[in-house]
A and B are shown apart, each in its own frame.
Chain A
């Protein structure tokens, strides 16, 4: 198991190399000159050229990339922000708490609400509950975040006045954004739980447990759900991974200074070091979540655990 984790962590290196190269290339070919953006429309040609030289933007693409990688590998330095002059790593770390808080609370809601709904839907397949919940689930998946967010603000902050509409420091402030963001995840988790459970509870071993005299509740949870967990954990992982990348819409509506907003602002101002750093961070986050999911697999399925040795 330990060896497997080390192996997987080493496999991160080529992935990150590819990610940095791709994002570097994309930004290089993006129209718009950062130097012009920084100095503004009125800047003289000379001033722009000078700044370009200072930032290293006048050099050939490959040299720029190699310089970037050299700093990254030897100094763990991913550059400084063009606009604030702060190290990129600090800018990202400043936004991280808000994003983490939002991602963790939404995924928590998604699991706590989605899994039980999926289980009940599967056990009571085609019941009224199942039908209603699955329609709501479809709505949850299709509903745009900005619309749901605004509706919730109108209801809970404006009309009822019981929840704050912005901020992220207190738990009351987290409720609306977390609920807004989790709507889609709840639906995805519930649907996956339902279909995975439907498959498991029809299997022969469930009949064996029933033959033993076990109660339906325990059959459903300790055998059905236990066996259905792998695909459920997979979607929870993917959902969490994408939440880590920041939820631009949600962060914008509720004025939360998270990674998503940082990235969008940086793209608008051609603040390339931040964009690169942000993408790198998201890629690492995604890879780590995937690794975590794979490790959880081993605890869920003895066959997978045997393969990891």
Chain B
């Protein structure tokens, strides 16, 4: 939160993204609104298939071209609409302005190029430097993420998963981006390595003073490093606010359910609590509020009409007909 200013860095307005699969249309994201201030870290939380990664890929405009399409919306970044940019302009923004860390470090590096070359490629695309300096800068980036510079000529398969993710982080940060999108950067790693990578990201974020979107399933990670949090369900944000506000005063039944599903150390639990029902079929979303079939508080209006967003307090937004207070579950 230390560097957060009031200036908006990213502002997504009414974004809708569809996938076409087997003649069916999947609404991955529908009318999503989201903004991010300079220096802010936003946690993006939701189940698999909620549309988190799709939103992130839309910002960079690297959605797989054939089956997916941004059907409406605007993505404003630093005062410019990214969806109106030409291919070439986007190429200059990718990596330099907005950078991304992907979920699985095992597959996100080119297996036949040395890690040094892959970092150099990134730097070389955005800065015209002689070869020697490129290499030196790549080596420095490796040191930044705690990898010895001697390993610059090693190939990805010579690194462990955690080390690979460090390489990916080094690469993503090598052009000093304004916005870093981290798509579940620790999901594929084991727990001890997760902690190390998170710590590293936290430090680098401070050092580079960038804004960050952290996509995750893990509410603990959000509490640790994020300023604000957006809870996503079935292609839309159902609750948004500062981490303090949302964690202490969540207003959406889905957010409540997410918190409830965290096992408690104090109680002796026989079974883990789960959210009843399944994530809805994205080709056939329920009418009204997409969460209503699983919602313990759902009333008749929930099945009929999609809820509008409400502001329960400045900066705390919720998309629900009901009014949960402080997670007590009372209307």
Contacts and interface: CB of A to CB of B under 8 A. Distances in A.
Contacts of A210: 62, 94
A213 B100 contact: no
Contact of A213 (B110, B112, B126, B155): B126
Contact of B91 (A213, A223, A306): A213
A212 B90 CA distance: 10
A207 B53 CA distance: 13
A211 B94 contact: yes
A302 B157 contact: yes
Contacts of A227: 110-112
Interface residues of A, number: 23
A226 interface: yes
B171 interface: yes
Given A204-B107, A212-B125, A301 B102 contact: no
Contacts of B111: 205, 227, 301-303
Contacts of B102: 204, 207-208, 211
B281 interface: no
Interface string B100-139: 1010100111111100000001100110000000000000
Contacts of B125: 212-214
B257 to A, nearest CB: 31
Chain B, interface size: which category?
A: 20 to 34
Interface string A184-215: 00000000000000000011110111111111
From A205, A227, A301, residue with most partner B Cβ within 10 Å: A205
B92 interface: yes
From A210, A211, A226, A302, residue with most partner B Cβ within 10 Å: A211
Given A302-B155, A303-B157, A209 B110 contact: yes
From B111, B171, B172, residue with most partner A Cβ within 10 Å: B111
A295 B155 CA distance: 19
Interface in B47-104: 60, 62, 64, 66, 87, 90-96, 99-100, 102, 104
A300 interface: yes
A213 B91 CA distance: 4
Given A300-B112, A302-B157, A207 B95 contact: no
Nearest to B98: A211
B91 A208 contact: no
A208 B125 CA distance: 14
Contact of B62 (A205, A211, A226): A211
A300 B113 CA distance: 10
Contacts of B92: 213
B225 interface: no
Nearest to B93: A213
Contacts of B157: 302-303, 306
Given A205-B110, A205-B111, A226-B112, A212 B122 contact: yes
Contacts of A211: 60, 62, 94-95, 99-100, 102, 172
A302 B92 CA distance: 31
Contact of B121 (A209, A226, A306): A209
Given A204-B102, A302-B157, A303-B157, A212 B95 contact: yes
A300 B104 CA distance: 24
Nearest to B104: A204
B95 A213 contact: yes
B151 to A, nearest CB: 13
B28 interface: no
Given A203-B107, A214-B121, A223-B113, 7 more contacts: A125-B66, A204-B102, A207-B108, A208-B109, A212-B121, A213-B92, A300-B112
Interface of B: 60, 62, 64, 66, 87, 90-96, 99-100, 102, 104, 107-113, 121-122, 125-126, 155, 157, 168, 171-172
For the complex of A and B, list the 9 residue pairs with the smallest distance between their C-beta atoms, beginning with the closest. Answer: A213-B94, A204-B107, A213-B95, A302-B155, A212-B95, A213-B91, A212-B122, A205-B110, A208-B108
18 contacts: A204-B102, A208-B102, A208-B168, A209-B110, A210-B62, A212-B94, A212-B95, A212-B122, A213-B91, A213-B94, A213-B96, A213-B125, A213-B126, A214-B91, A223-B110, A227-B112, A301-B112, A302-B157
